[in-house]
Amino acid sequence: MNARPLRPRTDRRFTLLGAPYDGAATLGWPGSRYAPERIRAAMKWILQRREDGQVYCLDHAALHPFPEDLLADAGDVRTVAHDLEATLAGAAEGVRDVLAAGRTPVLLGGDDCLLYPVARGLAETTEGTVAVIHLDAHLDLLDHSEQQGSHSHSSGMRRASELVNVDVAASVQLASRHFNFPSSLAFREKAGLRNIPAAEIHRRGSEAVAADVLAHVAAADAVLLAFDIDCVDPAHAPGAGAHEPGGLTSFQALDLVQRLAAYTDALVLTEVNPLTDLNDQTANLAAYLVAHYVVHGGLAGPGPEGAGARS
């Protein structure tokens, strides 16, 4: 593990991208193609609280900078309903374009196959190594199957791990639970990919786990935060592609994002499913996750205590 101090990314701006695609959701419920629209709608409720370039965060009793250009919406990446490969290429291109413009990408899925192209876009723009912080109920390490192929929502992390400068040993998976493929366990152990299941987060708390995660990913030069909404318990997020009880509470999810945001270089948020949602409850949670990522990960300002080493 790299012992260098982990420093937050400061004075940056964010660009929102949508990827309305769920053609790789071969198992579970389709419908996440409608998520970017619903999350954007929920964001309007949050953004109207900006005043004079600031927003007040009650969680930490602190004012945060929030100028008009802190979060821009660049619309949707190129998606082709019948062409998975073209959609993956379009998402990766969108991420690269945002990074080339000197901004931080926030991509809204869509199903979880989109983890891979965001990792690819970040990896192709980074000279050094990339780590992935992957919050998900599932491992997404499936290599290939007859029913799901090689780029389904069960393979995003596996495909990302194959990118030449993704440092799998510096990456970590959070909030997994219940059952998964034995072959995925074998790959995880061989690759040295760390896993912190939901049960451990419940026992240790999100503050301690966040500090642990930040120490682990410090070995990489850039970090992707990949957030599948099914890492959250369905009691808090019914609008998901699959329901796995025992997940994170909405508080734990928000707290982790607040603590990790300043130390990551891109966010991909996937699997919000408006067709299984209840009164936009999950889209609203997703919007708050994005807002906290931007507020706590953007401009210099106070953050959650104990989030990690700060410069």
| Beta pairing partners, 294 | none
Q: What are phi and psi of 141, to 5 degrees?
A: -110, 15
Domain 17-297 listed as CATH 3.30.70.270: no
Phi/psi zone of residue 122: left (φ > 0), alpha (ψ -120 to 50 degrees), beta? Answer: alpha
DSSP 146-173: TTTBSSSTTSHHHHHHTSTTB-GGG-EE
**Tokens in use for 240?**
């998901």
- Residue 309's pLDDT is 36
CB 150 within 8 A of CB 189: no
Cα 268 from Cα 26, distance rounded (Å): 20
- Residue 307's pLDDT is 44
**Tokens in use for 156?**
């995003």
Which residues of the chain, if any, have pLDDT below 70?
Answer: 1-5, 145-151, 153, 300-311
